[in-house]
């Protein structure tokens, strides 16, 4: 164990207890840490968690100016907030200064691989130039740089599309909303949420000298979305929708949907998996989708 490891003495704050943040919080609590998480609103789902002695929910909503008093003696912080539509990072604005007064050993920042921009399908790694094409990725790069330059012990984790239970294409396939789009040469990278959590904890376990400030967290299998949709349909045993050419349906796409097709790159996980020795739980969407479907089915079987 290293000085940065999340262990029973750790006091962890997750700013943004959303999809990845809550999963990380639970894993940190399972290691014996005291954990606080923020959300913008009280949410009914969180009520059950309040019975969990290791998780403490705080309200942090920059829009409502609900700024929490931070717990004392924090050792670890994870920031999961994206920049807002104006490019502002609410955590930078409201929490950076209070965090300077904490005895932090580690601050993890969840960034995106969008900062690399469009490499036209070529591989990129942490040394590749950052040339973000999308305004939200440009804002992200600025926020990431501010965190890295803050003087706090920051590591930034660059993430591709996050998937996992509740974030796979199963529901879209069942409801007939899924679109099978063909764009020659286009690939997407992705990561299962539990590999984000695993990579974060692995990073905190690394000894001095093995704590790079930037780490890509991707699986081994960049591929077209038609391939992943095909596999999801195979797991469900359902039919695929008719294949559509990208040029034909692009005019009907929302600007947000279009933006996902703007960049084409393969993101290398060599630093994480080879140099830092992290072993992916889900090296590709195949294992990851199957596990996610199992977890979704278990959850729905438990519901009254
Ligand atoms: N989803 C993807 O495929 C993807 C891909 C690459 C990178 N990322 C980035 O990775 C990070 C984690 O993703 P995720 O999908 O786990 O995120 P998420 O579920 O959307 O969680 C984000 C958290 O930030 C909180 N938040 C957002 N704006 C806030 C504000 N103005 N004030 C206070 N709290 C605010 C949300 O609060 P509430 O819980 O109250 O909503 C939520 O807890 C994000 O920065 C995301 O942009 C995501």
Segments forming the whole domain that contains residue 106: 11-160+193-219+266-281
Dist. CA 77 → ligand 1 center (Å): 15
What is the signed CA dihedral for 17, 20, 25, 28, rounded to 10 degrees?
-160
Residues 185-219 have pLDDT tens digits of 999 999 999 999 999 999 999 999 999 999 999 99
Dist. CA 15 → ligand 1 center (Å): 9
The predicted structure's pLDDT at residue 62: 87
Give the CATH number of the domain where residue 128 resides: 3.40.50.720
Residue 110 placed within a domain:
yes
Residue 43 placed within a domain:
yes
Residue 117 placed within a domain:
yes
Give the number of other Cβ atoms within 10 Å of residue 255's Cβ.
6
Residue 225 near residue 181, CB atoms below 8 Å: yes
Residues 228-280 have pLDDT tens digits of 999 999 999 999 999 999 999 999 999 999 999 999 999 999 999 999 999 99
Q: What percent of the chain has pLDDT over 70?
A: 95
Residue 20 has pLDDT above 50, yes or no: yes
Residue 34 placed within a domain:
yes
Dist. CA 273 → ligand 1 center (Å): 25
State if residue 164 touches ligand 1 by the CB under 6 angstroms criterion.
no
Report the C-alpha gap between 122 and 145 in whole angstroms. Answer: 24
Q: Would you tell me the crossing angle of helices 193-205 and 19-30 to the nearest 10 degrees? A: 50
Report the C-alpha gap between 262 and 120 in whole angstroms. Answer: 10
State if residue 159 touches ligand 1 by the CB under 6 angstroms criterion.
yes
Residue 86 placed within a domain:
yes
- The count of structural domains within the chain is 1
The predicted structure's pLDDT at residue 44: 46
Confidence of residue 300 (pLDDT cuts 50, 70, 90): very high
Half-sphere exposure of 272 (CA within 13 A, CB side): 32
């Amino acid at each position: 164990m290293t000085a940065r490891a999340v262990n029973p003495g750790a006091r962890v704050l997750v700013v943004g207890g959303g999809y990845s943040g809550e999963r990380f919080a639970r894993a940190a609590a399972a290691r014996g840490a005291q954990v606080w998480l923020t959300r913008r609103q009280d949410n009914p789902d969180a009520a059950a968690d309040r019975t969990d002695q290791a998780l403490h929910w705080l309200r942090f909503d920059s829009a409502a100016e609900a700024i929490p008093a931070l717990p004392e003696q924090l050792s670890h912080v994870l920031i999961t907030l994206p920049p807002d539509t104006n490019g502002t990072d609410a955590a930078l604005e409201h929490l950076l200064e209070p965090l300077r007064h904490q005895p932090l050993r580690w601050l993890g920042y969840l960034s995106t691989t969008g900062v690399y921009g469009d490499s036209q399908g070529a591989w990129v790694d942490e040394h590749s130039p950052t040339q973000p094409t999308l305004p939200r990725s440009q804002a992200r790069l600025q926020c990431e740089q501010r965190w890295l330059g803050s003087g706090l012990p920051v590591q930034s984790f660059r993430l591709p599309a996050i998937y996992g239970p509740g974030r796979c294409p199963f529901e879209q396939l069942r409801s007939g909303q899924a679109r099978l789009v063909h764009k020659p040469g286009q690939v997407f990278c992705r990561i299962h949420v539990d590999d984000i959590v695993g990579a974060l904890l692995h990073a905190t376990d690394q000894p001095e000298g093995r704590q790079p400030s930037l780490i890509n967290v991707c699986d081994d299998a960049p591929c077209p979305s038609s391939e992943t949709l095909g596999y999801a349909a195979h797991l469900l045993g359902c039919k695929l929708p008719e294949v559509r050419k990208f040029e034909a349906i692009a005019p009907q796409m929302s600007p947000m949907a279009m933006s996902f097709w703007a960049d084409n790159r393969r993101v290398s996980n060599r630093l994480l998996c080879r140099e830092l020795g992290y072993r992916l739980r889900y090296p590709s969407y195949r294992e990851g989708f199957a596990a996610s479907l199992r977890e979704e089915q278990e959850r729905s079987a438990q519901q009254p």
